[in-house]
């Protein structure tokens, strides 16, 4: 495995996965544009190393995890499921029934102990080859990127933020963006649900200043570990050691009582004071929208240490696919065995990229009894980071949840809107902008499993389907009846061929809405000529209905289930348009990310 970032970059270059950019580039937008081009290229493009960054003497590396080939190389596996298989060896250990069996577990226990972080030693660690404190601290020397035109400023986007519980002394490492305010202060954007925020609250209650350290440019396994949703109190450096198959070497900071990876490229040391906040944001986020400005704690930097010739590691987030999609895919595969220890009926699951990880998950289960799918849905909403998931779709174990075409076919052939859908309320990711209220709102569970004895029969019967529906007639009808209509498409026409009966026909509709979503839904459901359409999805007029990935991204991001679904007599209208006061949405609707400043407003 790689002991540091530069070893990994050398391996990427040797394998043809790295492009060196030698011409001068600006950290203001330009690096982001070039990175975005690679991220949107076939198979995630290449990693980039910008050697000549305007205003800084330090090079910048981006998109280093942004493909399946690079993320597997980063973590030392051929396939991500190999990590899950290693985890499963520990989660499936049976309690020993004899002394002989107990003895057989000793080697595995010793192996686990070998993953714990270790002290670097007495020598000067690489991350402290250069030390600047006090008046010498200047964050302006770092090539921190401004990623999107409407960002509030430059943001550190790949920081490993080290904190400790004031109560237990246990370490947490999280990844929270940091807006650079001036030469020695940044924002500390830890969400209220995160462990860093929880530990900060402990210091706030005690009225004490909280020490914080930030590593930038660690070895790839350690960087990934900072993104992993581990249970509170579990040290992410143990996970990094598990992935690396060797411990992370740590060293003490210069000005605070904290340990950081000794081979990090940069380390920022400092503190956060209770009661001190500053307006942070907006920021172009991984949802593909700007997260709105809000008050967040301030991080005061007391020291900057770095290697002699450090490499600044950054990431760009935005509309998928991006580099963070591959990091999230690691979490999906790695945490499956852990989830199965709680819910063994789960066979597999899939987080589509278009759902930006917290908006939808498709789960395959071994169904055994009536209501089993709803037991899983409600159970998942009570499990750690899964609690933030807005939509959960359950399928049978013989369905590959990663097969989008098959899952789409189940919506057309099996879904009974009145009996197979449950809508409730719960916690939401702080970045969810569709809910009328922040942090809390509507959730939807959808059961696409086959019915078993004891479950109510389908309420909506299958109906004959004319596979040659006249779309021109449909468009003429909508132009007459629906104010603002511009276009429509039947997205599941591919699954209709060869079938005489289906339960649902789906119609995507472009509309320039001047009425509320519910008023538009009432119109659609009242059109007699469209009675064979049972699922309508409304999108803003500029959404390309033929770009399936883009359409799904809009659908998963822009819908609050309890407000934006209108269900009548087994038919439903889903409003995936931009919301405003006419929809009962008083919060500011965020701007979509674009490099074209004219379109950003």
pLDDT in the model for residue 48: 98
Contacts of 182 (CB under 8 A, 6+ apart): 139
Local mean pLDDT, 10-residue blocks, the chain (601 residues):
95 98 97 97 96 97 98 96 87 64 57 84 91 96 97 97 95 95 96 83 95 98 93 89 94 97 98 96 95 95 98 96 94 91 94 92 96 95 90 97 92 89 92 92 96 82 63 93 94 60 86 92 94 94 94 95 93 95 92 77 38
pLDDT in the model for residue 390: 96
List residues bridging with 363 in a β-sheet. Answer: 349, 394
Centre a 10 Å sphere on the Cβ of residue 481 and count the other Cβ atoms it contains: 14
List residues bridging with 507 in a β-sheet. Answer: 536
**Residues annotated catalytic, as ranges:** 285
Centre a 10 Å sphere on the Cβ of residue 113 and count the other Cβ atoms it contains: 11
Q: Retrieve residue 585's tokens.
A: 């949405």
Helix (H, G, I), strand (E, B) or coil at 434: coil
Distance between CA atoms of residues 133 and 269, nearest Å: 9
Contacts of 382 (CB under 8 A, 6+ apart): none
Q: Is the dihedral of CA 345, 351, 357, 359 positive or negative?
A: negative
The C-alpha angle 106, 239, 92, rounded to 5 degrees, equals 50
pLDDT in the model for residue 380: 94
Report all structural domains of the chain as residue ranges with CATH numbers, in order of start: 5-94+124-313 (2.30.110.10), 323-447 (3.40.1670.10), 463-600 (3.40.1670.10)
Could you give the C-alpha distances from 440 to 148, 232, 280, 296, 387, in angstroms and in order? 27, 21, 21, 19, 11
Q: By the 8 A CB rule, do 411 and 448 touch?
A: yes
pTM of the shown model: 0.91
Q: Is the dihedral of CA 325, 328, 330, 336 positive or negative?
A: negative
* Range list of β-strands (E), 351-455: 360-365, 391-396, 421-427, 440-447
Taking alpha carbons only, the member of 556, 559, 538 closest to residue 486 is 538
List residues bridging with 171 in a β-sheet. Answer: 164
Taking alpha carbons only, the member of 260, 348, 340, 255 closest to residue 307 is 260
The C-alpha angle 246, 249, 252, rounded to 5 degrees, equals 160
């Amino acid at each position: 495995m790689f002991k540091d970032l530069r070893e990994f970059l050398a391996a990427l270059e040797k394998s043809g996965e790295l492009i060196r950019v030698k011409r001068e580039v600006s950290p203001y937008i330009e690096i982001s544009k070039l990175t975005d081009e690679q991220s949107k290229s076939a198979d995630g493009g290449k990693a980039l190393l910008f050697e000549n960054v305007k205003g800084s003497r330090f090079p910048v590396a981006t998109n280093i995890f942004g493909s399946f080939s690079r993320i597997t190389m980063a973590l030392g596996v051929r396939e991500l499921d190999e990590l899950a298989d290693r985890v499963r060896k520990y989660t499936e250990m049976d309690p020993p029934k004899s002394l002989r069996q107990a003895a057989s577990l000793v080697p595995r226990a010793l192996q686990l102990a070998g993953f714990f972080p270790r002290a670097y030693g007495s020598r000067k660690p690489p991350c402290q080859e250069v030390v600047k404190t006090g008046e010498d601290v200047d964050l302006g020397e770092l090539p921190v990127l401004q990623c999107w035109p409407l960002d509030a400023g430059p943001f550190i986007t790949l920081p490993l933020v080290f904190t400790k519980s004031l109560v237990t002394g246990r370490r947490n490492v999280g990844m929270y963006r940091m807006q650079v305010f001036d030469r020695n202060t940044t924002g500390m954007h830890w969400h209220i649900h995160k462990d860093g925020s929880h530990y900060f609250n402990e210091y706030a209650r005690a009225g004490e200043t909280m020490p914080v350290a930030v590593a930038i440019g660690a070895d790839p396994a350690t960087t990934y570990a900072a993104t992993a949703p581990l249970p509170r109190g579990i040290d992410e450096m143990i996970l990094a050691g598990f992935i690396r198959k060797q411990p992370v070497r740590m060293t003490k900071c210069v000005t605070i009582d904290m340990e950081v990876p000794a081979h990090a490229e940069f380390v920022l040391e400092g503190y956060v004071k209770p009661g001190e906040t500053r307006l942070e944001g907006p920021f172009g986020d991984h949802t593909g929208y700007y997260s709105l400005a809000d008050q967040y704690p301030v991080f005061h930097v007391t020291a900057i240490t770095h290697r002699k010739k450090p490499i600044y590691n950054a990431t760009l987030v935005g509309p998928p696919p991006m580099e963070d999609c591959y990091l999230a895919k690691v979490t999906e595969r790695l945490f499956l065995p852990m989830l199965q220890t709680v819910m063994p009926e789960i066979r597999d699951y899939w987080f589509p990229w278009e759902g930006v990880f917290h908006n939808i998950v498709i789960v395959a289960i071994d169904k055994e009894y009536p209501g089993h799918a709803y037991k899983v849905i409600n159970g998942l909403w009570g499990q750690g980071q899964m609690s933030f998931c807005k939509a959960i779709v359950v399928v049978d174990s013989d369905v590959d949840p990663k097969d989008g075409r098959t899952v789409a076919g189940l919506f057309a052939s099996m879904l009974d809107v009145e009996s197979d859908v449950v809508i409730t309320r719960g916690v939401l990711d702080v970045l969810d902008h569709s809910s009328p209220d922040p942090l809390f709102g509507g959730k939807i569970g959808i059961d696409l499993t086959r019915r078993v004895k004891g479950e109510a029969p389908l309420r909506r019967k299958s109906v004959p389907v004319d596979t040659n529906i006249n779309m021109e007639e449909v468009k003429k009808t909508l132009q007459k009846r629906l104010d603002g209509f511009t276009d429509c498409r039947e997205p599941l026409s591919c699954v209709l061929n060869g079938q005489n009966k289906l339960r649902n026909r789906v119609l995507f509709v472009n509309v320039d809405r001047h009425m509320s979503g519910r008023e538009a839904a009432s119109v659609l459901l009242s059109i007699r000529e469209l009675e064979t359409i049972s699922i309508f999805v409304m999108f803003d007029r500029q959404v390309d209905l033929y770009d399936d990935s883009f359409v799904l991204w809009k659908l998963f991001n822009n819908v609050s289930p309890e407000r934006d679904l209108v269900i009548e007599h087994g038919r439903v209208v889903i409003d995936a348009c931009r919301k405003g006061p006419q929809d009962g949405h008083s919060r500011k609707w965020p701007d979509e990310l674009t490099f074209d400043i004219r379109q950003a407003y």
